Amino acid sequence: MNSSVHLPLRLTALVMAIFVTAVSIVVGQTEPADIMPLGDSITRGTNDINYPNGDIPGGYRKNLQARLAGGGFASNFVGSRNDNAASGMDPDHNGINGIRTDQVLANLSTWLAVQPDTVLMLLGTNDILQGVQVATIANNLGTLIDRITAGYPKRRLYVSTVLPISGKSWNGQTAATLNNNANAYNIQVRNLVQQYRNAGRNVTLVDMNALLVYTHSDPSKNVFQPGDGVHPGQAGYDQMGSIWYNAVTATGSLVDPVQSPYDSWTSGYPAFAALPAADRAPSADPNKDGIANLLCYALALDPLSGNASAFLPSLTPEPGSSSNLIFRFRHNKLAQDIAMKVLLSPDLSASSWVQNQSPSSVTDLGGNVEQIAVAVPIVSGNTRRFARLEVIRSSP
């Protein structure tokens, strides 16, 4: 990754040489993805029959977290509540008993203040149980999708269909009527998700209603066994955790990567962007000119140009001065992840390199390119002076 240019002997009889060195890339640890489970008592993990207190600790969240950890996905649940957690699990969530879509809308801005990377939303069952019109529920859901995704293209929103409603009547409505309304609402859920996807929003349908296996050959594994016809039993919540897991890990990661400045730079050179990934790597040198891609990036050079060496740093005497040299190098203003240091040495020994403390000046060369000039003092009695430009990329 090193390239060097030896400049000719000057009138001062001083031997000057420069070295441009791209050093190790410092990669920061990837932060866990912040996941917000958002919904009602089903997100909380309620079951009115299975436990005396109406809870299945962790609900689907317990199974989901275990699967994420087992799959090597770093995650952190976030939310305003931390009740009904299984022992040892991340307790945070926004699953609230009895809550409707309009009530979630009223609290949404407060809850989103934690800036989740991912939102898992399952809402609408309480609206149906409380007699809210399907059109109204769907309108609220559309507003929720819009508010969660607007202005946050990297935030992932997963929207689930509601589970069937069966087993008993609620508020004077038969289970059959309630389930018909649930089916009609689920049609709207599917349509809304597709509508927002078509508009470029980062939203994905999780068709829980269609994916769950409700009746098993082993009755203890039925979704609502034991249960109340609305809230799953343990087997149902375990299935839900598995379905959420498959959805959020389908791309191989929990978050959508933000394009780095380096990747943005590579896309500006179509021929370079078309190269195999190995040839586009920062340490690669696809045209074999001795100048690594990282150096081209830092110095604002065309990575496939045959004359890039003409724009490498230069070390020349300062006009009218017998005490300074001038070290000039280009800088890519878009390379926000690059640190550049000028190091000096009298003899090239490993221990002799020190960072230059002299002031520098900047000249705008147009576009995203600027030239930096650094004064390099001549040390009395020395006939040699070496300078090295160290380039460090601080992100992957």
- Reduced to 3 states (helix: H, G, I; strand: E, B; else coil), residue 290 is coil
Taking alpha carbons only, the member of 148, 139, 253 closest to residue 192 is 139
So what's the pLDDT on residue 340?
87
In a 10 Å sphere around its CB, with 0-12 CB exposed, 13-18 middle and 19+ buried, how is residue 49 labelled? middle
Query: Which residue ranges does the chain devote to CATH 2.60.40.10?
Result: 2-25+261-393
pLDDT (tens, 9 = 90+) of the chain, 396 residues, equals 333 333 222 323 344 555 566 554 443 335 799 999 999 999 999 987 654 567 899 999 999 999 999 999 999 999 999 999 999 999 999 999 999 999 999 999 999 999 999 999 999 999 999 999 999 999 999 999 999 999 898 899 999 999 998 767 777 888 899 999 999 999 999 999 999 999 999 999 999 999 999 998 988 889 987 777 889 999 999 999 999 999 999 988 898 876 778 888 888 888 988 888 889 888 899 999 888 899 899 999 999 987 777 888 888 888 877 778 888 999 998 888 888 888 888 888 889 889 988 878 999 999 889 999 998 887 776 667 788 888 888 755
Look up tokens 């791209």; give the residue. 22
| pTM for the structure as a whole | 0.64
Instruction: Extract the runs of DSSP E, i.e. beta strands, from 155-313.
Output: 156-160, 203-206
So what's the pLDDT on residue 318?
82
Q: How many Å is the Cα radius of gyration of the chain?
A: 31
Query: Which residue ranges does the chain devote to CATH 3.40.50.1110?
Result: 33-248
Are the beta carbons of 332 and 369 closer than 8 angstroms? yes
Instruction: Extract the runs of DSSP E, i.e. beta strands, from 59-161.
Output: 75-77, 94-95, 118-122, 156-160
**CATH fold for domain 2-25+261-393:** Immunoglobulin-like (2.60.40)
**DSSP string over 161-193:** PPPP--SS-BTTB-HHHHHHHHHHHHHHHHHHH
Q: In terms of DSSP bridges, do strands 2-6 and 15-22 run parallel, antiparallel, or are they unpaired?
A: antiparallel
Are the beta carbons of 76 and 65 closer than 8 angstroms? no
Tell me how far the alpha carbon of residue 247 is from its chain's centroid. 17
Are the beta carbons of 326 and 377 closer than 8 angstroms? no
In a 10 Å sphere around its CB, with 0-12 CB exposed, 13-18 middle and 19+ buried, how is residue 116 labelled? buried
So what's the pLDDT on residue 172?
82
So what's the pLDDT on residue 281?
87
Q: How many CB atoms lie within 10 A of CB 63?
A: 22
CATH of 33-248, one of 3.40.50.11540, 3.40.50.720, 3.40.50.1110, 3.40.1010.10: 3.40.50.1110
